[in-house]
Structure 1
Amino acid sequence: MKKLLGCMLFLGLGLSSLAQDNLKDRGFEEIAPLLPTPNVYRNGAGAPGHQYYQQQADYVIKATLDDNRQRLEGKETITYTNNSPDYLSYLWIQLDQNLRKKDSDEYVANSSKMNDRMSASKLFFIVGHDEDYGYHITNVSDENGAKLPHTINKTMMRVDLPEPLAPGKKYTFNIDWWNNINDKTKDHARGGYEHFKEEDNYIYTMTAWFPRMCVYDDVNGWQNKPFLGAGEFALTFGDYEVHITAPSDHMIAATGLLQNPKEVLNTKELDRYNQAKSSTKPMFIRTPDEAKKIAKTKKSDTKTWIYKAENVRDFAWGSSRKFMWDGMGVPMANGDTVLAMSYYPAEAQGLYEKFSTKVVAHTLRTYSKYTIPYPYPVAISVEADNGMEYPMICFNNGRTEKDGTYSESMKYRVHSIIIHEVGHNYFPMIVNSDERKWAWMDEGFNTFLQFVTEQEFQDDYPSRRGPAHKIAQYMASDPSTLSPIMTQSDNVKQYFNNAYGKAATALVILRETVMGRELFDFAFKTYAERWAFKHPKPEDFFRTMEDASGMDLDWYWRGWFYGIDPVDISISQVNWYKTETASPEEKNLSKKKNREKNLSNKTQDLNKSQGLKTALENDPDLADFYNRYDRYQTSSSETKAYKTFVESLNEDEKQYFNPDMNYYELEFENIGGLPMPIILKMEYADGSEETLTIPAEIWRHDNAKVTKVIARDKEVVQFILDPNRETADIDEDNNYYPRQMLPSRFDLYKKKTSSKSNPMQKSNK
């Protein structure tokens, strides 16, 4: 709708749209009432306070892998240092393997249902089993061997101390145990074994495999929430010395540095291992031919591998006679060189030999750039047909076809899972958040940096998560199926979309659209530096991002992290105005033409065409003053007033006193409820275009509807909201003004079968 404006008075009536009073004034409240009060342990800037503390748990573990019975036996000595100001009368230990006991809450407390077709592994997972899994604790004693009273509550064990452990004191105690190793292909577990039936070999991934100390901190006291499967781990930093006894032909990959390479590697392997540390490209330490030959034999004798790791929160390892092994040195910006390594069976060789170690190296370089330099001496990728992360080591999946070829989707799947799992070294292995409570603080942060790393690996990398538009479908879901990001991990609905996808996308939008890269990258790096090797909480992240950037982001945390409202902003109305700049003579002429036009009608035209004369024409005496005077004659006073007005305008005012200037009054509705910046693209009549970003603060007084006037000297033919799909808007149809009718495409014929394309295989044939 085009409208004319008076010189100094803008008039116009827009069309009203559906009011949403329930959204009014919501979204820009302070979130301080939702956050714990800053204190001496965590200050108001989001940094550790001047009395911040954290506990330490050091381990010496001796474990024996029984490859014949798939059983693990272990003895561990834990030295626990109480750095808190509190006296501790008992200690809490995590017994995560008890998740697989037949009476586990994973089976009892989780809902389940039957389908028409059920696999045995699916039934095993939802119904439970009668197999003897979980820990058999055979000894809990002090360092002198005296028995300690202890109570096991499913996945947690309380050890009662003879006397309270005073602040600044240490306590050493022992735990002996054994457990049967689970078949992870049945129960979808993070660790266990995979059996290769044809050759009767195993790959073991030993994760959450030993009793581990719970975190005791200033916020929760003991973090002893039971392990239900989804909420992962809260763990204490410490030093590890681990002795692993396994069949002598097994290759072991583990957290930390190998202490006795001369005892467990043959001469060739030892020489290659030392060369790999400075190699600029991956080189084999155990070659494919050697690994395949070893896989055909089974030795009954054993070797003991000794690993040490300092300042880590956990320890994991993999073992198999199937592993081939390569490595290369990765120089870091701080001058250190990290040994990046990969272990994989023949089934994954075609992918992992070419990509794995190089992708590990790329991940280390990229994550270091945005957080802190990678602080550990090694980084390991193990292909074990699962995905899980631990300090310095991760387990990944992705195998070729039997002929060694692979699809393009499998290639990127391998890249992405390696980036993701190696990236977890930073979140939560270094920036040590509480996974049991806040899945998004490790999965969301890591998926965000995974996306950044993927995009820096290849221009057209097909990232699964990260781009804003890819989360829109989830955010448009039925609200009953949604949870705020700030939901305890075990209670999150649509876990992967929430903790991984929405949280990562929130950070991408924050970086690219709301804050800008310079402010975001500095603040995010500050958060990583402040909380490296410490235990941050959500409020520490929120406060650090604002403290280091100088931005008020309460509205963003409230909307994206505490709410489930989607983004849906609509252009509901546009009014178009032009400034009236004509002289009095021009105005009067225009009025005359308009009057003549308005008085003209069809009847009048037909009367004239038929020669009909009006009464006035037949009787001139009917004419009076109003039939004779010129109502559109310009007076001298009008001309003088106009000239005076024009001469009084200053330079700034003159730019608006321009007949070519266009004024657009746009009305926006926040239908979804989540306030976001308004990103507006204007396509002009001359073919050019312009994009304008209006900060989200425009919604601060009314979160339901706002108007904005935009002046341009060119005519706009199309307004488009969020043209680059960067805000996760769930309804793009109302992003256009005038509205556009966009067709939905359909296939005329539906394919009967579908299969993953593998052009590599077809090419070979």
Structure 2
Amino acid sequence: MRKLQSFLVGAGLLTVAAQTQAQTATDSKFDQHEAFAPMFYPSYGDEVRAADGTPGPKYWQNRADYKIDATLDDSLHTIDGNVVITYTNNSPQALQFVWLQLDQNIYNQASRGVAATAIGGGRWANRNAFNGGYNIESVTVIEDGKEQKADFLINDTRMQIKLAKGIKSQGGIIQFKIKYGFTIPEYGTDRTGRLKTKNGWINEVAQWYPRMCVYDNVNGWNTLPYLGQGEFYLEYGDIEYAITAPANHIVVGSGELLNAKEVFTAEQLKKYNEAKESEKTVTLRGVEDVNNAATRPAKDKLTWRFKCINTRDVAWASSKAFVWDAARINLPGGKKSLAQSVYPVESAGDSAWSRSTEYVKGAIEYYSQYLYPFSYPVATNVAGIVGGMEYPGIVFCGYTAKQGGLWGVTSHEFGHNWFPMIVGSNERKFPWMDEGFNTFINTMADKHFNNGEYQAKNATNRQPYARAFSGDNAESILTVPDVTSPGNLGIVAYFKPGTGLTLLRENILGEGRFDSAFSYYVHQWAFKHPTPWDFFHCIENYSGETLDWFWRGWYINKWKIDQAVTDVAPVDAKDLSKGSIVTIANLEQLPMPAVIEIKEANGKVSRVKLPVEVWQHGSSWKFHVNSTDKVIKATIDPDKTLPDYNKSNNSWYAE
């Protein structure tokens, strides 16, 4: 009983002491109990997804391997294809049915994507009343060496195949064979399409074969329809594909070209091999060669064969109008890859696409050093109608892009080879895990490329973005892309989550701790499927910091930041050498570490850095400064690195 009484008396004294220290600004919206609430994660770690944010000892994911044969009819703008899918069920459950994505069906006038498009159209609209979609000629199941018709149902952009026997768990294998065709849309939701140039059509072909939906331990089958704004979530596997096209075309695609000798001229093959060893761009087919029949084999058609290993997708492009150049990419450990660009003569020029290969090389070499080595043998930039879209080892960028605009879109689209091509997050639900992370690494590459040739000025001043991030019309980062207002997508999916990583790096963890934690996350989840919670756990465990207050305020909610200096007073007005007491306040819901700059009448300038924990005691905090003269100015966030919602209260001035 005495011990309990002693505890109660001690607790009472502690309560009084805490009340003396904790102070609240009367006009503050901050609640430390909400910001630093102990319960954050929706579930505990298990053997599939460990609590430290890494794949657990029993992590599994299914596998999809593809073998595709397709023919391009450039006069009719059609693709006819045949795909054999080898699907491996590594899950602990037997599967009685499977789901596939049929993304071309968004271009059918009866699709959900068309129905959900506003009258005014927009980036994802089906333009010119194009009525496309897949023509599925046949679907068969191959099991135990026997092929039989499949029991399947097509609903919008999804297809379900029902299985008589099912697929055994933990390694069961089945094959599907699908014969299909479709017309290439001229404008395909800014992800695929074709551009008419003076020397012929440029075909940028993506979402061009039926693809397996992901089956995981989070949602089971991931079957959200393709509406345009949301992107993709795909299984990994090996993909072999053959493209038969007119012989006067150049075809480029994801992965390794297997039969260069059959599809190049002798001179092109020579220059191709030269480019593989060249730091400088080598021209394989110049502006003056585009209409020269001698630059292509004298045949009617040619079949280009490619193979892409451990990939979630493949895409390709084909045209007789291509100018073509290439150069070597240097990767960590002495490995090499090839950067190449194809573009029409309209896009050539030293201020435009003639520097594209230099940009590809620069971006990939930087990201490979910072995060994880580039995992494909070739990196191809294609100029066409698509403004900017990424696929494994190949990207589509706008043919009119120039200078900093071309560098920016090239660097961004190739940054996607890390998010989500290597780290395979669910873009259909969480676009910030690829677009936001990629936007962050783009800012790093901007500083590095050619001594910052295209680095944005005043990039560290984030005060102007506060209202876009957290204003009345803002939306949470954790919003499904198809639900996000199109006008907010750039902020919600790209800029705000990217800025969040910058704040983690520069304001919370520091550059060294963040960089090593971020690289650790990439290596742990390379070619796997992380969730947002896996990312949060992983960064926290590796960095050794509890960051739920930041995830909660910045990524899940749209809490504002508003730090202020409210008062400065000398410890002893008669003896200024004893220092000063500075009072700061957190007036909005999101806490952040604080940096305060102190200027004295004698000209001395000093800074105090305070951890986020000072706000665990309330919305107001006092601290001592070793000043020796009258303080004439105190400024919180002097470098303006925080998107502070009210900058007018950031500085205090002596009367």
State the TM-score, normalized to the length of structure 1. Answer: 0.78
Q: What amino acid sits opposite 2:437 in the alignment?
A: F
Say if 2:568 and 2:631, in contact at 8 Å, map to a contact too: no
**Per-residue deviation, residues 138-169 of structure 1 (Å, max 9, x unmatched):** 11002344210101110110011121100211
Deviates more, 1:250-259 or 1:295-304: 295-304
Say if 2:559 and 2:590, in contact at 8 Å, map to a contact too: yes
Of 173, 176, 184, 1:170 maps to: 173
Partner of 1:405: none
Alpha-carbon distance change, 364 to 125 in structure 1, aligned in 2, over 3 angstroms: closer
CA separation in 1, counterparts of 2:226 and 2:452? 40
Alpha-carbon distance change, 345 to 376 in structure 1, aligned in 2, over 3 angstroms: same
Partner of 2:256: 257
Q: What amino acid sits opposite 2:182 in the alignment?
A: N
Q: Cα distance, 1:353 vs. partner?
A: 4.8
Is 1:48 the counterpart of 2:16 in the alignment? Answer: no
Alignment coverage as a number of residue pairs: 624
CA separation in 2, counterparts of 1:97 and 1:135? 6
Q: Cα distance, 1:123 vs. partner?
A: 8.2
Partner of 1:689: 605
Of 480, 484, 493, 1:499 maps to: 493
- SS of corresponding position for 1:528: helix
- SS of corresponding position for 2:482: helix
Query: Max radius of gyration: which structure?
Result: 1
Deviates more, 1:300-309 or 1:546-555: 300-309
- SS of corresponding position for 1:540: helix
- SS of corresponding position for 1:193: strand
- SS of corresponding position for 1:680: strand
- 1:400-549 alignment runs, 5 A limit: 410-457=402-449, 458-459=451-452, 461-463=454-456, 467=460, 468-469=462-463, 471-478=465-472, 481-493=473-485, 494-549=488-543
Partner of 1:69: 76
Partner of 1:221: 220
Partner of 2:651: 736
CA separation in 1, counterparts of 2:105 and 2:163? 23
Partner of 2:14: none
Is 1:81 the counterpart of 2:78 in the alignment? Answer: no
**Per-residue deviation, residues 378-418 of structure 1 (Å, max 9, x unmatched):** 11111224200000111112537xxxxxxxxx411111110
Partner of 1:716: 631
CA separation in 2, counterparts of 1:64 and 1:676? 57
Of 92, 102, 105, 1:98 maps to: 105
Q: Cα distance, 1:35 vs. partner?
A: 3.0
- SS of corresponding position for 2:608: strand
- SS of corresponding position for 2:334: coil
Is 1:384 the counterpart of 2:395 in the alignment? Answer: no
Q: Which structure's residues are more often strand, by fraction? A: 2
**Per-residue deviation, residues 474-527 of structure 1 (Å, max 9, x unmatched):** 12421xx22221222222241111110000000011001110011101100100
Say if 2:600 and 2:627, in contact at 8 Å, map to a contact too: no
- SS of corresponding position for 1:490: coil
Deviates more, 1:485-494 or 1:156-165: 485-494
- SS of corresponding position for 2:447: helix
CA separation in 2, counterparts of 1:414 and 1:470? 25
Q: Cα distance, 1:130 vs. partner?
A: 4.7
Say if 1:471 and 1:505, in contact at 8 Å, map to a contact too: no
Partner of 1:366: 366
Is 1:725 the counterpart of 2:649 in the alignment? Answer: no
Is 1:29 the counterpart of 2:29 in the alignment? Answer: no
Alpha-carbon distance change, 372 to 131 in structure 1, aligned in 2, over 3 angstroms: closer
CA separation in 2, counterparts of 1:569 and 1:123? 38
Partner of 2:9: none
Partner of 2:12: none
Deviates more, 1:542-551 or 1:352-361: 352-361
Of 669, 680, 698, 2:585 maps to: 669
CA separation in 1, counterparts of 2:294 and 2:264? 16
Deviates more, 1:450-459 or 1:533-542: 450-459
Alpha-carbon distance change, 412 to 701 in structure 1, aligned in 2, over 3 angstroms: same
Say if 1:246 and 1:304, in contact at 8 Å, map to a contact too: yes
- 1:237-316 alignment runs, 5 A limit: 237-293=236-292, 301-316=300-315
**Per-residue deviation, residues 92-147 of structure 1 (Å, max 9, x unmatched):** 1001111111122222124x355xxxxxxx48965876533111111100234421
Q: Cα distance, 1:466 vs. partner?
A: 6.7
Alpha-carbon distance change, 697 to 124 in structure 1, aligned in 2, over 3 angstroms: closer
Deviates more, 1:551-560 or 1:665-674: 665-674
Q: What amino acid sits opposite 1:554 in the alignment?
A: D
Say if 2:29 and 2:588, in contact at 8 Å, map to a contact too: no
Of 137, 153, 156, 2:155 maps to: 153
CA separation in 1, counterparts of 2:624 and 2:282? 63
State the TM-score, normalized to the length of structure 2. Answer: 0.90
CA separation in 1, counterparts of 2:520 and 2:122? 47
CA separation in 1, counterparts of 2:126 and 2:430? 28
CA separation in 2, counterparts of 1:430 and 1:727? 31
Partner of 2:15: none
- 1:302-381 alignment runs, 5 A limit: 302-350=301-349, 351-381=351-381
Q: What amino acid sits opposite 1:28 in the alignment?
A: F
Structure 1 unpaired stretches of 5+: 1-11, 115-121, 401-409, 581-658, 741-765
Deviates more, 1:234-243 or 1:280-289: 280-289
Alpha-carbon distance change, 470 to 148 in structure 1, aligned in 2, over 3 angstroms: farther
- SS of corresponding position for 2:496: helix
Partner of 1:558: 552
Q: What amino acid sits opposite 2:569 in the alignment?
A: N
CA separation in 2, counterparts of 1:305 and 1:297? 13
Q: Cα distance, 1:53 vs. partner?
A: 0.7
Say if 2:53 and 2:533, in contact at 8 Å, map to a contact too: yes
Alpha-carbon distance change, 295 to 31 in structure 1, aligned in 2, over 3 angstroms: farther
Alpha-carbon distance change, 358 to 35 in structure 1, aligned in 2, over 3 angstroms: farther
Q: What amino acid sits opposite 1:424 in the alignment?
A: H
CA separation in 1, counterparts of 2:501 and 2:457? 15
Say if 1:295 and 1:321, in contact at 8 Å, map to a contact too: no
Percent identity between matched residues is: 35
Alpha-carbon distance change, 387 to 287 in structure 1, aligned in 2, over 3 angstroms: same
Partner of 1:605: none
Q: What amino acid sits opposite 2:38 in the alignment?
A: E
- 1:1-12 alignment runs, 5 A limit: none
CA separation in 2, counterparts of 1:36 and 1:166? 28
CA separation in 1, counterparts of 2:126 and 2:317? 28
CA separation in 1, counterparts of 2:39 and 2:185? 45
Partner of 1:645: none
**Per-residue deviation, residues 593-614 of structure 1 (Å, max 9, x unmatched):** xxxxxxxxxxxxxxxxxxxxxx
Structure 2 unpaired stretches of 5+: 1-19
- 1:648-667 alignment runs, 5 A limit: 659-667=575-583
Of 183, 186, 203, 1:183 maps to: 186
Is 1:58 the counterpart of 2:65 in the alignment? Answer: yes
Alpha-carbon distance change, 245 to 21 in structure 1, aligned in 2, over 3 angstroms: closer
Q: What amino acid sits opposite 1:534 in the alignment?
A: K
CA separation in 2, counterparts of 1:361 and 1:460? 15
Q: Cα distance, 1:295 vs. partner?
A: 12
Alpha-carbon distance change, 330 to 688 in structure 1, aligned in 2, over 3 angstroms: same
**Per-residue deviation, residues 444-467 of structure 1 (Å, max 9, x unmatched):** 111100110111123363439974
- SS of corresponding position for 2:34: coil
- SS of corresponding position for 2:366: helix
CA separation in 1, counterparts of 2:295 and 2:376? 35
CA separation in 1, counterparts of 2:409 and 2:201? 22
